[in-house]
Chains A and B, each alone.
Chain A
Amino acid sequence: MTAFQTVKSLDEALAPIVDGCLLVVPREVSGVPMAATRALLRRGIKNLHLVALPTSSLQADLLIGAGCVGTLETSAVSLGEYGPAPRFTAAILGRSITMKDATCPALHTALQAAEKGVPFMPLRGLIGSDVLKYRDDWKVIDSPFGNDDPIVLLPAIKPDVALFHAPMADRFGNVWIGRQRELATMAHAAEKTIATVEKIHDGNLLDDPVLAAGTLPGFYVESVAVCARGAWPLPLPDHYSADGEHLALYAKMAATAEGFAEYVERYVYERKAA
């Protein structure tokens, strides 16, 4: 079988992510595509509808701070041990983005609905929460299988693009994601999937049953770009841990708009430390 040209340069690979795109990205410990995020900042992407499954840290903060996000749909944004996410907080207080507050399992569930090609999925909890109160796209019905049993229905989230970073891919576009299975859910739900990877695996990942079990088939994958340490300064599970020193530096610099601009100039445009 001839390998279709799935492996591309980073900028070529990211081309399907256009202004106004509904983009889904993973949580901090699942392989956050930070090199790709910096490339999107350099391109000056605008008005993203960003879905962070189910939470985000540096990635959402950076995209928000650089004015790339129109709507944010997630369950939390925080720098964890390094404190609140300063640009996210400033954007909410300054009302410069539309926030769709969610709860973690609601996002997983809404993507699973898209995965199955059904219009909605039910989820327990939520009734009596203000998270539900402020989501006019979520509905409560009386379970048709119960007796006075109210339950919440969540509409499917169908992303235009899923974007993540993974340990490796082959030339057929198969991407090894290991046990980060939410990356498969994202890819199944999205129209197109773009993966950045640490390296290219020689051969076909689906030929080895052990590797195949942790592989997202190339069928779902639009493009792949090689970015060594592409999650930096965030961690890539089982490969490298977070660069705590850099995250502390970010938290400090991004505390003000001026400091954030300087951070972007230094680490996004000049790529000194990438």
Chain B
Amino acid sequence: MNANFRPEELLADQIAQLIGDVRHVAVGNASPIPATAALLARERGNGRPYVSLLGSPKNTFWTDGARELFDCAGQGRIDVFFLSGGQIDGQGNINLVSIGDYDQPKVRFPGSFGSAHLYYVVPKVILFRTEHSRRTLVPRVDFVSAPGASAANVYRPGGPVALITNRCLFSFAQGRFTLVSVHPGHTVAEVVENTGFDFVCPASVPETPAPSPATLKLMREVVAPQLAELYPQFAAQVFGVGTAAFAD
């Protein structure tokens, strides 16, 4: 890549913008890019929003055990959360469990984590998947860990607002995805080719803007060292934290 930033930095910058002006962002397990974005948003906001990184003693304020995250969410005290999936379909359904028949799966993923609750109750859920392919973005998931939408009588103040991948950014509304922008080095045709579900594709799709030099500096110098507590491998690989930094 000839740009002076890494793909992870572009994604984190975009996610930080999607987070917007909110009070509390929570980040679940195995989510280093959303964690980068949340910490970036907190640095830009001089300490707001509150950021809770699940599994990080330094970046959680909870004192009532692991259930406090879900109790907060159930009350509407978490504004933004992030989810991924082994499969994600065009209706915003996510699959964190298995491929094939549930009783006789061909592939098994770790499990649903908190998705079957949080997807319903957190107003802004940002989906992320760094492998954008027909294998991951499918017409219909094999197992619904959590559905993209619910029947009218089901209590559901929350749900998906966007999906960001290694190739592009989609928004989600009225039960379907719309292509918002395509990342530098990628094309609309390539997005269509590698997406297994139908989505709204406007006639003109802009390129995802590159992170500004100020954002890159903030991410590399202030955010990355904070990230290393929870994601040492990621912080080392992407930001060179703990090694001689930024050879490229």
List residues of chain A with CB within 8 A of the CB of B108: 88-89, 92-93
List residues of chain B with CB within 8 A of the CB of A180: 65
Contacting pair A78 B29 (CB below 8 A): yes
Contacting pair A75 B112 (CB below 8 A): yes
Contacting pair B104 A182 (CB below 8 A): no
B193 in the interface (beta carbon within 8 A): no
Q: How many residues of A contact B (CB 8 A)?
A: 55
Contacting pair A76 B65 (CB below 8 A): no
Given known contacts A128-B150, A148-B153, A238-B57, A108 and B113 CB-to-CB distance under 8 angstroms: no
List residues of chain B with CB within 8 A of the CB of A179: 62-65
Q: How far is the CA of A107 from the CA of B164 in the complex (A)?
A: 30
**Main DSSP-derived SS at the B contact region:** loop
Q: Interface size bucket, B side? A: 35 or more
B74 in the interface (beta carbon within 8 A): yes
List residues of chain A with CB within 8 A of the CB of B63: 179, 181
List residues of chain B with CB within 8 A of the CB of A28: 55
B110 in the interface (beta carbon within 8 A): yes
Contact of A105 among B57, B96, B117, B155 (CB under 8 A): B117
Stretch at the interface among A16-24, A129-137, A189-197, A217-225: A129-137
Contact indicator per residue, chain A 112-130, by CB within 8 Å of chain B (1) or not (0): 1000000000011111111
Contact of A123 among B96, B104, B110, B117 (CB under 8 A): B117
List residues of chain A with CB within 8 A of the CB of B121: 124-125
Contacting pair B232 A76 (CB below 8 A): no
Q: A76-B113, A84-B110, A95-B103 are in contact. List 16 more A-B contacts (CB 8 A).
A: A78-B30, A81-B231, A81-B233, A93-B108, A103-B117, A104-B70, A104-B117, A105-B70, A105-B73, A125-B116, A125-B121, A125-B146, A130-B97, A131-B116, A181-B64, A181-B68
The 9 closest A-B pairs by CB, nearest first: A181-B65, A76-B111, A105-B70, A125-B117, A103-B116, A78-B110, A182-B65, A108-B67, A104-B114
Residues of B within 8 A of A (CB): 29-30, 55, 57, 62-68, 70, 73-74, 96-98, 102-106, 108-121, 143-147, 150-151, 153-155, 231-234
The 17 sampled A-B contact pairs (Cβ below 8 Å) are A27-B66, A29-B57, A75-B111, A76-B96, A103-B116, A104-B113, A105-B74, A108-B66, A128-B147, A129-B116, A129-B144, A130-B97, A130-B102, A131-B97, A132-B116, A244-B232, A244-B233
